[in-house]
Amino acid sequence: MASRKTAEEMGKEQKEISISEFFEKNKHLLGFDNPTKALLMCVKEAVDNSLDACEESGILPDITVKVRQLKDDSFRITIQDNGPGIVKDQITRVFGKLLYGSKFHKLKQGRGQQGIGISACVLYSQLTTGNSTKIWSKTESDKKTHYYEIQLNTKKNEPEILKEETQDSSFDHGIKIELDVAGRYRKWVEDFLRQTSISNPFAKIVYTGPDGTKTTFPRTANELPKLAKEMRPHPYGVEFGILQRMAGATSSRSLASFITNDFSSVGATTAKEICKIAKVDENKKPSDLTRDDIEKVLNAITKMKIQRPPTDCLSPVGKDDLEKSLKKEFPGAEFISVRSRDPDVYRGFPFMIEVAVVYGGDIKNDSGELIRFANKVPLLYQAGACATAESVKETDWKRYGLQQANNSLPTGPIVILIHMCSVWVPFVSESKEAIAPYPDIVKEMKLALQDIGRELSRYLSGKRRAGEAKRRVLLFERYSTEVAEALAILSGKNKAELEKKLKSYIGDRVKITEEGEIEGIEGAKEKAPQDEKPKAKKKEEDVEE
Amino acid sequence: MASRKTAEEMGKEQKEISISEFFEKNKHLLGFDNPTKALLMCVKEAVDNSLDACEESGILPDITVKVRQLKDDSFRITIQDNGPGIVKDQITRVFGKLLYGSKFHKLKQGRGQQGIGISACVLYSQLTTGNSTKIWSKTESDKKTHYYEIQLNTKKNEPEILKEETQDSSFDHGIKIELDVAGRYRKWVEDFLRQTSISNPFAKIVYTGPDGTKTTFPRTANELPKLAKEMRPHPYGVEFGILQRMAGATSSRSLASFITNDFSSVGATTAKEICKIAKVDENKKPSDLTRDDIEKVLNAITKMKIQRPPTDCLSPVGKDDLEKSLKKEFPGAEFISVRSRDPDVYRGFPFMIEVAVVYGGDIKNDSGELIRFANKVPLLYQAGACATAESVKETDWKRYGLQQANNSLPTGPIVILIHMCSVWVPFVSESKEAIAPYPDIVKEMKLALQDIGRELSRYLSGKRRAGEAKRRVLLFERYSTEVAEALAILSGKNKAELEKKLKSYIGDRVKITEEGEIEGIEGAKEKAPQDEKPKAKKKEEDVEE
């Protein structure tokens, strides 16, 4: 039996744990909890970084992804971009040190947030295969390409350089990375890239899978989206400790100017008003604020009506571009419609929802599909925990002419797409697989879905009307001869003539029904369901007269 | 519009992020995602540490917990134990530095694992109230108590000491900690402590809530459970990178001795066998192993039949102690039964499942309740994602005489308790709220549940039989007079006599049914449901003869 310990003995065992050791042991927190997912994560992290870098430096992304099988349970992943590259003295740390990045301390929309992703892949690679990661980087100003073979020293959380050299440039500028990882291959890699190209229509992605087949996801937009601006924190949702720290660090000389300069959406008058309500001298030096002052200011802020944060810090896909890429992706679809909501705020963070619905045509799968994005990155796991799924399930699709079992997706040949972009996406876990269902966020999604739902229902009922009209016509044609005969007997008129008349008469009706059909499909967009009833009635009269 | 950047400009923005900054911004990962939960987390982390320390140092825990309301949205939490205390030079880092602890690098069953919990509470306290945390510590060898007021420097992830002094000892040895936190109060704090006392029957916990009411959870066991031993890693489930690192760090001189000494459950012969299968010289110096060697050894291990890891590294609650604390907790229960399974293994980690079912009596709630524990710590959130819930839902309770809707808990006055203890509990998130449903783990839980289920069903059907028997007796008594009369007429015998006979006859039956009743309840344990039918039939015949 193990022996009991004294405080002194226990004290000797206290040790510091490096963040790398922590995530190595808890790799499931980063999404490396099974071989299939792990392989996908490596592709995802590299592609996310490439897209972020290209967007930031104004380059239309050209990305090639290769997955090659090494053994039955290990793969070599090679990803190359035409981005700005990374300056020499940063390369190894960007890839070989966890929690090292440029985005964490900023409020700015980006795919990456924490500076963990790609280094975690390097860590996973060495953990599962023992191989080091190969990196090529060239900036425009570099004469040659910098080549590194690195591993991650988990004890120190620092990169370990195994090989370093400069090579003649095989490319103008950009990054190339090669990772060997234990994994299992599924077509999800391709799904991920396909969805990525939907939400990043300005990117060209060429993918070569383990079987050697090459798939190209072409560009459907030839301009980069407007670049998201960095924003200052919004007063709403700022916490005591943060305000305290900001007050200590600010260069502003007075409380009033501190509130105006260091936060977004606060004008001088509002700032002064806050000080007044808080009963704290607006000229007080921020660093002199007592705990009590800070508390008063915080309370005052909650009492103030402060305008929403700026929205130029958001970079949505855009209605037109999204529609274009969906048309490319679903060429035969009967119905494609996109909504993008006005920006809204949760906990002081601006966010924006884009939603699209694709229906019919070449969508063979009848079970309904949901495609989810956060800051233009496809989300492939934990749908059940995601605000997107919640909003779709809570929407009553029966009202829009679709079938839907309790608390589930609508069924039918339908694909629903939801994109949330924000300066800070509230992911439920560090593996960034699902968006936390904050009420404000779910509400925005539902409003967009309901709006499209109404349009879809108009389309579907139009289709139904057209169908009915057609059936009526066929009916008349089938019996026209008999009717003509009967009329001939009754009226004593020439049968052939009557039949001709009848046929032409039906011909007119056909035109009407054709219109009805056109109206049912095209016109539906303009007309609300309610004003369909009377119209339908009228047509009936036409036919029966 | 924001301006595009060059690689150089982007390079300047790359920064290191401290683990504290990371968790401050991602506090939801640690369970601080809402005020109610946050308050509970602080109590939980402190209590967990106290219990761990007491167990390790062989002290029967005496813990007092106080929660006092400061403002409508902030509380002062004070927790004191009689543990070994912490040596002076460790105190501030244990409480003021994330990822600092004694358990991370060991394979040993414990409540804490990562050295994050309590420092995260200190971080949350200063973030939400700006107040510093007060700590008192005294070891047996300390003359006086060491007092500190600390905060956590998030940039450096180091403790910041605001006040330090030695005080005359108000207690022999132990830790006292006082935290001010923003929170919302719910009775969950009490629930947590109640459940903690169930799974830690050797601990005495006294709790004073915000309304001043004092609740004592007494000790029901006066001995500490056997202390869990530390184990060496089991060869199964060891990863390439880990094996590589171990080989580099070992003091063993040959590969064979390395495998024998540094891993658990491997004898010299097995080790040599592994080398042979791997075709790597058993005398090769571990540090000389090539990547290829390591791969071969890993493959050889998977081919070998290696015995299970030792189980003395596990410290369950124990069948008897668990039953005792349940009897204390549910004094009026009709049925209490406990199962503890033999230890099993997942991914090379030994684990053990304990299950209990409490039925009827003073359990008023009819919706069925599940109480979950991991390493003796109650789990109060994310039940949906937990292996425990999955195992209960996948068990067919209808077979055991209970009602159960699809994929949900059984209904009825039933409380189900599941405890998993392991050297490494696979939590689904860093907030340690749910056990990842690995098939091996769920299977063990289900086997235990089915076993208790059978016992419960015997008890319930016994109860039913007894009830039926009683009803039959009453029926006979009610009609005995009439029957006597009829018989008197038919047989011409004396009615009074006949009635007396009948009554006594029924009297015998009553005895039988009493037996039946006793048998239904006591004897049921020995008898399987199937052998009930014939018996029931027989009784009918008795009555009808």
A99:B127 CB<8 A: no
Q: Which of A24-28, B145-149, B390-394, B478-482 has the lowest mean pLDDT?
A: B478-482
Residue pair A74/A38 in contact by the 8 Å Cβ criterion:
no
Q: Where is B538: in which H helix or E strand?
A: helix B532-544
Q: What is the mean pLDDT of chain A?
A: 88
Here the tokens at position A93 are 């740390």
B-chain residues near A8 (CB < 8 A): 87, 139, 141
In this complex, do B127 and A242 lie within 8 Å of one another by their Cβ atoms? yes
Task: Tell me how many residue pairs between chain A and chain B have CB atoms under 8 A apart.
Answer: 206
Task: For residues A242-262, give the mean pLDDT.
Answer: 94
Phi then psi for B410, rounded to 5 degrees?
A: -70, 150
The answer to whether residue B531 scores a pLDDT higher than 70 is no
Q: How many CB atoms lie within 10 A of CB A291?
A: 12
Query: H-type helices in A250-353, by residue range?
Result: 255-262, 268-278, 291-303, 319-329
* B129: contact with A, CB 8 A cutoff: yes
Residue of A nearest to B175 (CA): A7
Distance CA A31, CA A27 (A): 7
- Name the H helices within A170-239: 188-199
Residues 6+ away with beta carbon under 8 Å from A257: A271
A168-227 residues touching B, CB cutoff 8 A: 173, 182, 226-227
Please provide the average confidence, as pLDDT, over all residues in chain B: 88
C-alpha to C-alpha distance for A439 and A387, rounded to whole angstroms: 9
Which of A16, A99, A114 is opposite residue B100, by nearest beta carbon? A16
Lowest mean pLDDT among A305-319, A414-428, B178-192, B411-425: A305-319
pLDDT tens for residues A10-63? 888 888 888 988 888 888 888 888 899 999 999 999 999 999 999 999 999 999
Among B261-275, B279-293, B485-499, B512-526, the least confident range: B512-526
Of B17, B24, B126, the CB nearest to A100: B17
The alpha-carbon gap from B263 to the nearest alpha carbon of chain A, in Å, equals 18
Chain A's closest residue to B385, CA to CA, is A385
User: What is the predicted pLDDT for the residue at A511?
Assistant: 54
Rounded Cα gap, residues B428 and A296, in angstroms: 39
Answer yes or no: do B14 and A85 touch at CB < 8 A: no
pLDDT at A484: 80
Range with top average pLDDT, A512-526, B336-350, B496-510: B336-350
Q: Indicate if the pLDDT at residue A514 is higher than 80.
A: no
The model's pTM is: 0.82
* Banded model confidence at residue A400, pLDDT cuts 50, 70, 90: very high
Q: Please report the pLDDT score of residue A532 as a whole number.
A: 37
| Residue A522 banded pLDDT, cuts 50, 70, 90 | very low
Q: In this predicted structure, what is the pLDDT of residue A540? A: 33
Give the residue from B56, B140, B381 with the most A CB atoms within 10 Å of its CB, the best one to mutate.
B56
pLDDT at A529 over 50: no
- List the 234-253 stretch of A: residues with Cβ below 8 A of B: 239-242, 244
CATH node for B319-454: 3.30.230.10
For residue A11, give both structure tokens. Answer: 């004290």
- Judge whether residue B463 has pLDDT over 90: no
Check residue A541 and give its pLDDT. Answer: 31
For the record, the structure tokens of A38 come out as: 């792990």
Least confident interval from A118-132, A301-315, B188-202, B479-493 = B479-493
- Asked if B229 lies within 8 A of A15 by C-beta distance, the reply is no
Query: Are A57 and B7 a contacting pair at CB < 8 A?
Result: yes
pLDDT tens-digit readout, B380-398: 998 988 999 999 999 999 9
The predicted pLDDT at position A30 comes to 87
Question: Which residues of chain A lie closer than 8 angstroms to B4, CB-CB?
Answer: 56-58, 227
User: How high is the pLDDT of residue A442?
Assistant: 95
Q: What is the pLDDT of residues B284-295, one digit of tens each?
A: 999 999 989 999
Facing residue for A128 by CB, picked from B89, B230, B239: B239
Share of chain A above pLDDT 70, in %: 92
Cα gap B545→B531, rounded to integer Å: 22
Q: Give the C-alpha separation, A73 to A39, whole Å.
A: 11
B213 within 8 A of B193, measured Cβ to Cβ: no
Nearest in space to A163 (alpha carbons), one of A135, A122, A144, A128: A135
Choose which CATH entry (3.30.565.10, 2.60.40.10, 3.40.50.1100, 3.30.870.10) describes domain A19-217.
Answer: 3.30.565.10
Q: Who among B7, B94, B104 is closest to A17 (CB)?
A: B104
Backbone angles phi, psi at A68, to 5 degrees: -120, 135
Most confident of A79-88, B3-12, B478-487: A79-88
Q: Do B104 and A21 touch (CB under 8 A)?
A: yes
For residue B507, what pLDDT is reported?
67
pLDDT digits (tens, 9 = 90+) for B180-218: 999 999 999 999 999 999 999 999 999 999 999 999 999
Q: What is the pLDDT of residue A1?
A: 44
Mutate to test the interface with A, among B30, B37, B73, B87 (most CBs of A within 10 A): B87
Say how far apart CA B115 and CA B112 lie, in whole Å: 7
Side-chain-facing half-sphere of B175: CA atoms under 13 Å: 30
**Residue among B141, B140, B147, B136 nearest B79 (CA):** B136
| Residues sharing a CB contact under 8 Å with residue A419, sequence separation 6 or more, in sequence order | A199, A316, A317, A322, A353, A354, A355, A372, A373, A374, A376
Contact B99 A58 (CB under 8 A): no
CA distance A207 to A78: 10
| Gap between the Cα atoms of A182 and A52, Å rounded | 26
Give the start-to-end residue ranges of the domains of chain B.
19-217, 235-303, 319-454, 459-527
CB of A114 within 8 Å of a chain B CB? The answer is yes
Query: How many CA atoms does the CB half-sphere of A24 hold within 13 Å?
Result: 26
Residue A149 with chain B: CB contacts under 8 Å? none
Q: Of B17, B115, B230, which has the smallest distance from its Cβ to A99's Cβ?
A: B17
Name the residue with higher pLDDT: A373 or B492: A373
Q: Are A400 and A454 in contact (CB under 8 A)?
A: yes
Least confidently predicted of B160-164, B509-513, B523-527: B523-527
The answer on pLDDT for A232 being more than 60 is yes
Residues A271-317: pLDDT tens digits? Answer: 999 999 999 999 999 999 998 999 999 999 989 999 888 888 999 99
H and E: helices and strands count for chain A = 15, 17
Cα–Cα distances (Å) from A105 to A18, A423, B303, in that order, read 21, 11, 49
> Quick check: A85 contacting B, CB < 8 Å?
yes
Per-residue pLDDT, B524:
36
Q: What pLDDT is stored for residue A508 in this prediction?
A: 67
Cβ-count burial B151-179 (b if 16+ within 10 Å, e if not): bbebeebbbeeeeeeeeeeeeebbbbbbb
In angstroms, the CA A90 to CA A81 distance is 17
DSSP string, A237-254: T--HHHHHHHHHH---SS
- Element at A539 (helix H, strand E): helix A532-544
The class of domain A235-303 in CATH terms is: mainly alpha
Label the pairing between strands B410-422 and B367-374.
parallel
Mean pLDDT value across residues A242-263: 94
Q: How far is CA B102 from the centre of its chain?
A: 21
- Taking alpha carbons only, the member of B356, B345, B354 closest to residue B316 is B354
Q: Do B22 and A104 touch (CB under 8 A)?
A: yes
Mutation for testing the A interface, residue in B1, B3, B4 having most A CBs under 10 Å: B4
B56 CB near a chain A CB, below 8 Å? yes
pLDDT of residue B515 exceeding 70, the answer is no
Task: Output the pLDDT for position A365.
Answer: 80
Instruction: Return the structure tokens found at B339.
Output: 């199962």
Both tokens of B57, joined, read 């140092």
pLDDT digits (tens, 9 = 90+) for B302-354: 899 998 888 889 999 999 999 999 999 999 999 999 999 999 888 888 999 99
Of A203-212, A531-540, B238-247, which gets the smallest average pLDDT? A531-540
Write down the H helix ranges in B378-432: 387-394
Residue to substitute from B5, B315, B431, interface A, most A β-carbons within 10 A: B5
CB-based contact, B531 to chain A, within 8 Å: no
Is B101 or B133 the better-scoring residue by pLDDT? B133
> What amino acid is encoded at B79 in this protein?
I
Work out the number of other CB atoms within 10 angstroms of the CB of residue B24: 23
A106 → chain B, closest CA residue: B13
Residue A431: name the closest of A67, A38, A106 by CA: A38
State the pairing for strand pair B377-379/A214-217.
unpaired
Q: Which of B11, B17, B57 sits opposite A115 (nearest CB)?
A: B17
% of residues, chain B, pLDDT over 70: 92
Query: Which tops the pLDDT comparison, B494 or A413?
Result: A413
Give the tens place of pLDDT for each residue, B111-130: 988 888 999 999 999 999 99
Q: What pLDDT does A523 receive?
A: 37
Q: Mutation test of the interface with chain A: which of B240, B297, B347, choosing the one with the most A Cβ atoms within 10 A?
A: B240
Which alpha helices (H) appear in B182-280, and where do they start and end? Answer: 188-199, 240-249, 255-262, 268-278
Q: How far is B41 from chain A (nearest CA, A)?
A: 18
Mean per-residue pLDDT, A340-363: 91
Give the mean pLDDT of A81-107: 92
- Give A-chain residues touching B241 at CB under 8 angstroms: 24, 126-128, 130
Q: Which helix (H) or strand (E) holds B122?
A: helix B117-129
Q: Do B130 and A105 touch (CB under 8 A)?
A: no
**What's residue B502's pLDDT?**
78
For residue B513, the model assigns a pLDDT of 44
A167: contact with B, CB 8 A cutoff: no
Distance between A363 CA and the closest CA of chain B, angstroms: 32
B350-363 CB burial, b ≥16 within 10 A, e <16: bbbbbbbbbbbeeb
Best mean pLDDT range from A220-224, A485-489, B6-10: A220-224
* A465 in reach of chain B (CB within 8 A): no
On whether any CB of chain B is under 8 Å from the CB of A541, the answer is no
pLDDT at B110 over 60: yes
Report yes or no: B331 at the A interface, CB cutoff 8 Å: no
User: Which residue in chain A has the smallest CA separation from B25?
Assistant: A104
**Does the pLDDT at position A144 exceed 60?**
yes
Mind telling me how many Å the CA of A505 is from chain B's nearest CA?
A: 60
User: Per-residue confidence at A521, pLDDT binned at 50, 70, 90?
Assistant: very low
Nearest to A130 among B18, B22, B240 (CB): B240
Largest CA distance in chain A: 121
A341-346, long-range: CB < 8 A, 24+ apart? A341/A444, A341/A447, A341/A448, A343/A308, A343/A311, A343/A314, A344/A308, A344/A440, A344/A444, A345/A234, A345/A236, A345/A308, A345/A309, A345/A440, A346/A426, A346/A438, A346/A440, A346/A441
Q: 3-class secondary structure for A74-135?
A: EEEEEEECCCCCCCHHHHHHHHHCCCEECCCCCECCCCCCCCCHHHHHHHHHHHHHCCCEEE
**Collapsed DSSP state (helix, strand, coil) of residue A378:** strand
Q: Give the mean model confidence (pLDDT) for residues B251-268.
A: 94
Cα–Cα distance between B431 and B333 in angstroms, integer?
33
Indicate if the pLDDT at residue A536 is higher than 80. no
What ipTM goes with this model? 0.79
Q: Which residue of A has its CA nearest to B10?
A: A102
Nearest Cα residue in chain B from A114: B22
